[in-house]
Chain A
Amino acid sequence: MKKGLQTLIGIAGLAAVIILVLALAWWGMKDEVFPPSPSENKKEDTELANRQADLEKAMKKGNLELHPAEHWKTVEEENAR
């Protein structure tokens, strides 16, 4: 009885690990398997252009300048940590 329960727990644990590994692999590869469609890319490009235009307009309005900031990192660096 006890041995059977241990085996069951072992199988469940192994299954959980396999599912986790597969999920992580899927998360890492999903963009390659299903790359963003041209319409999604276009939408992102448009949003980027809009944000750029908004910032440039604001900087002109306020006579603002960019100055390097301290204490930040790229998201890639954060994810690699």
Chain B
Amino acid sequence: MPANQVMCLLCPKHCTLREYERGDCRVRVNVGGELHTLIWGQSCAANIDPIEKKPLFHFLPASWAFSIATAGCNLHCKFCQNWQISQTNPEDTRNIRMEPAEVVKEAQMNKCLSISYTYSEPIIFYEYVKDTAKLAREKGLRNVLVTAGYIDEKPLRELCRVVDATNTDLKSIRDDYYREVCDGELAPVQRAIKVFQAEGVWQELTYLIVPTLNDSEEDLYDCFRWIYTELGAEVPLHLSRFFPMYQLKNLPPTPASTLNRAREIALEVGLNFVYVGNLPGNPGENTYCPGCKNILIERRGYNIGEVQISAEGKCVFCGRTIPGVWK
């Protein structure tokens, strides 16, 4: 056996690396028998986004999130919308050196209430996220992950100590979909979703509906029933429209009728907050009170109307508690 091999324990892939070899994520490397990351402080994207873009609809609505990413990903989804950075080595992206203190400073200067670790996969820039998030917390900022949740339990529980909210992808309820379309597995993602909830991190889920691959009624019912059973009725679910991208350019965009039907199924299963995404103007973008059925937040794309939820998280019409982080 060659000397100096290391095993990465960050994600379920557990890559075994010979000296000078990188993991499947492209950014973690064995040098001298020790594991290092190549992308600490190396942002390949830095933007000021509406929090609704993540999407998070129950977390500081109408606020700005300072959003960063690095190259690399530990999954290889054939439909990836950000494949130009996620499926690329860090030496091939245009990076800006931004150490945690600078990220926090930029967020504050731009009046952002949160820092969002997003676009690619924050799990693979784990150390950068943790160091930035700790500092952000000290300065009164919140931290948001937008993640596929493909991470081992121990590092995830550590990360939860500094994370306030997450939008986690549940890409399918079928393990073979994860294996064939994403190069991953379902079980670790389900575990991560439950860990986020158990650790008290505010969580919303995203299900990207890909025509012919995960849009059957059986798939939708099974997935939404799992969410209802394991997480309860109050977790917000975003049903996102697929657009042909990367290695799935042969498929059409998700029809509006499929998105509307999926929303009906999720509501029928018992979920209270089900949203349609990437389809501006759809009534499924709004937040409705499950009690009195009034519109609490009207949305069109990233434009939002008046928020009819009190700072204490109550519907202003009927007083029902609306789950989320509202102040």
Contact = CB atoms under 8 A, between A and B. Distances in A.
Interface of A: 31, 44, 48, 51-52, 54-55, 58-59, 61-75, 78
Contacts of B18: 48, 51
A75 B29 contact: no
Contacts of A52: 19-20
Interface stretch (B86-94, B220-228, B255-263): B86-94
A69 B90 contact: no
B240 interface: no
B126 A68 contact: no
Contacts of A73: 6-7, 9
Nearest to A53: B20
30 contacts: A48-B18, A48-B19, A51-B18, A58-B91, A59-B91, A61-B91, A61-B92, A62-B38, A62-B42, A62-B95, A64-B90, A65-B41, A66-B29, A66-B36, A67-B37, A67-B40, A68-B36, A69-B8, A69-B10, A69-B28, A69-B35, A69-B126, A70-B126, A70-B155, A71-B10, A71-B126, A71-B154, A72-B6, A72-B9, A74-B7
B162 interface: no
A63 B40 contact: no
Nearest to A54: B20
Contacts, number: 99
Given A71-B10, A71-B152, A75-B7, A66 B20 contact: no
B39 A44 contact: no
Interface string B22-62: 10000011010111111111100000000000000000000
Interface of B: 1-2, 4-10, 16, 18-22, 28-29, 31, 33-42, 89-93, 95, 97, 126-127, 130, 152, 154-155
B135 to A, nearest CB: 15
B127 A75 contact: no
A67 B127 contact: yes
